[in-house]
Amino acid sequence: AEIYLQGYGGTTPAFSTDLTRIEESAAAVLDPRAYGYVAGSAGSGSTAAANRAAFDRWRLVPRMLAGATERDLTTTVLGTTMPAPVLLAPVGAQSIVHDGAEAATARAAASTGLPMVLSTASSTSIEDVAAASGGGPLWFQLYWPSDSEVCLSLLARAEAAGYSVLVVTLDNWSLGWRPSDLDNGYLPFLNGAGTAVPFTDPVFLGGLDASPEEEPAMAVLRWISMITGTDRTWADLAFLRKHWEGPIVLKGIQHVDDARHAVAAGMDGIVVSNHGGRQVDGAVGALDVLPEIAAAVGDRIEVLFDSGVRTGADVIKALALGARAVLVGRPYVYGLAHAGEDGVRQVLRGLLADLDLTLGLSGNTTPGALTASVLRRS
Ligand code: FNR
């Protein structure tokens, strides 16, 4: 109603309310290399396409006279209460799309009450994002450094700054084959985007021969070598379990046996995700593996989902297929690119309104009650 009334008064949104289309307008406002980094995916882009195609195979079957004029989307996941089952996915290097970067995103997230998952590859420090958030819900995503002391320092900083859940990303131990960045010779951290998380870390800085101001490329390369190329095993997760008090979520799970490993390793949750199609070209659409994973472990562990969520209907489909909540990546980054904090807020509020309306108009009132019976496979 707000948007229609504003339109009646001659004011329309800064960019489209259709989140499947804002990639195009973001291309017009972004530096081409930054755009390529955000929009790009692995290889031929077939995984990113599969993510969207997987949503299209499921259709909602709306019910009428179902008493759905009043809805309650409030959801609690691992101790975090959110106004709707939606989180902001960890996205690194946000300074390449807007000067406000992660601080602008944090303010917008806090104003909606949705949790932000801060990336280890953030261009804003753990502490500055917490300050910008002003008490909003925050989770911390870990790219697991090979240096244990650096790892412990990051965990301690995140915990001290109030991040309540640790999200450990498993699918990015090496950067995927990404033609858009390869063709542009572009890696944000080597092209001026801040790497604030390590560069504000006393333990990381203590291990450098020269400061990042003196030798930025050396510092970046040391950091990249620390968070890539280390062979880990399921048993190694005990280290994180020992040193992180709160819940731990593993991000990047796509096989049902890996979901079972996560349970056996004492983890609290998983994100069924293929990194928005950015890692393995030709991988299965993330939504395609969600039902079997949720069926196998959903009663023992929180199952979250990301990769390809663009609409309220997409959120409903993921929840109906077993997710407790979803994470959204590129759409809010495009909002940030268009209009900074206000742009992120427009994307988040729009997605929540779309979700609320679509939930009600399809005859449903709460996310928790959604089951596959609201869907038909087509
Ligand atoms: C990401 N993603 C990501 N994931 C992570 O765990 N740590 C990170 O630093 C990043 N960085 C990152 C940068 C950019 C530009 C993108 C687009 C994505 C992956 C992200 O958390 C999430 O899994 C996907 O973005 C979800 O897919 P959609 O919503 O973008 O389709």
pLDDT given at position 193: 82
Backbone φ and ψ of 270, nearest 5° = -135, 155
CB neighbour class for 373 (10 Å; exposed up to 12, middle 13-18, buried from 19): exposed
- Alpha helices, DSSP H, located in the chain: 2-8, 22-29, 32-39, 46-56, 101-112, 126-133, 148-160, 179-184, 196-199, 202-206, 216-227, 237-243, 256-264, 286-297, 312-320, 330-361
pLDDT given at position 301: 98
Rounded to the nearest angstrom, the distance between the alpha carbon of 62 and the centre of ligand 1 is 32
Cα dihedral: 228, 229, 231, 232 (round 10): 10
Among 84, 55, 67, which Cα is nearest to 364's? 67
Which segments in the chain show pLDDT lower than 70?
none
C-alpha span between 248 and 257 (Å, rounded): 18
Among 301, 332, 304, which Cα is nearest to 82's? 304
pLDDT given at position 192: 79
Residues belonging to the binding site are: 37, 90-92, 119, 141, 143, 169, 178, 251, 273, 275, 278, 306-310, 329-330
**ipTM score over 0.85, yes or no:** yes
Residues belonging to the binding site for FMN are: 90-92, 119, 141, 169, 273, 306-310, 329-330
Name the 3-class secondary structure at 59.
strand
275 is catalytic: yes
pLDDT given at position 194: 78
- Please name the residue that has the structure tokens 């008490």: 135
As a whole-number percent, the residues of the chain with pLDDT over 90 amount to: 98
